[in-house]
Every structure is written in structure tokens, then in C-alpha cells.
Amino acid sequence: MKAVLITIASLLLLAIIVVGGWQLGWWMKSYSTSRNARIYQQSYGAQSANINEVESLIVTAKGISVQLADPNTPASETSALKAQQVAVTNEICSRALTITPPLPSTEAAFVAAHC
């Protein structure tokens, strides 16, 4: 009887160790994936891509401003252009927050004025 209880306890302990190790493996893999994602977001390539996207969006926002200032722009399009300008500016501000190196001066001035 004692041998049966020891065997059952040993199997139970082994099962706990196996399941615990399996869970620990998943936890470590999740941690590693999150760490790799953070490293990638701070990498030179990702930062350069974000800076390029901010530059492109600023050109778009300035183009919308030109359209809004143009007296030939139909009044029916003004509200849509203003909404588009707000959306583009919001995207610029959110992208600028992800950039860790200093922004180039032109982009930094735009972000300081509009965000």
C-alpha cells in the first residue's frame, strides 16, 4: 500500500513539474517576443521609417492647408478637407511619439506647433 502511494505521489509530482515547465516555457517565449518587438521598434530601420512617414504626412497636411486656403475650393469640400487635415495631424502626432531620436528640425517644429 505504501509503495502504491509513493508511486502515485511521484507521478503527481512529475506531472506538476512537466506542466509547470511547459507553462514556464510559454511565459519565457512570450517575454522574449515582447522584448524583441521593443528592440525592433527602437531600431534604426524602424525609426527611419517612422521619420520618413512623418515627413510624408507633413507634406500631405501642408497640401491640405493649401487647398483650404485656395478660394477656388468649393465650400462643400471644406468640411471634408478640415476633417482630413485633423486626421492627418493626429497621425503625425502619434507617429512622432514613437520616434526616439530627435526629429529633424522641420518636423520637430511642425509637431511642436500642432501636437
Residue 33: domain span: 1-41
Total count of domains within the chain: 2
Domain check: are 54 and 35 in the same one?
no
Domain check: are 26 and 53 in the same one?
no
The whole-number pLDDT of residue 41 equals 63
Domain check: are 15 and 32 in the same one?
yes
DSSP string, 43-95: SHHHHHHHHHHHHHHHHHHHHHHHHHH-TTS-HHHHHHHHHHHHHHHHHHHHH
Domain check: are 28 and 77 in the same one?
no
The whole-number pLDDT of residue 89 equals 94
pLDDT in tens, 45-69: 788 888 899 999 999 999 999 999 9
**Sites in the chain below the pLDDT cut of 50:** none
Domain check: are 84 and 115 in the same one?
yes
Domain check: are 113 and 63 in the same one?
yes
CA distance 67 to 25: 56
CA distance 113 to 103: 14
The whole-number pLDDT of residue 81 equals 92
Domain check: are 66 and 112 in the same one?
yes
Domain check: are 49 and 103 in the same one?
yes
Domain check: are 83 and 111 in the same one?
yes
Domain check: are 60 and 102 in the same one?
yes
Residues with Cβ within 8 Å of residue 46, at least 6 apart in sequence: 40
Domain check: are 112 and 58 in the same one?
yes
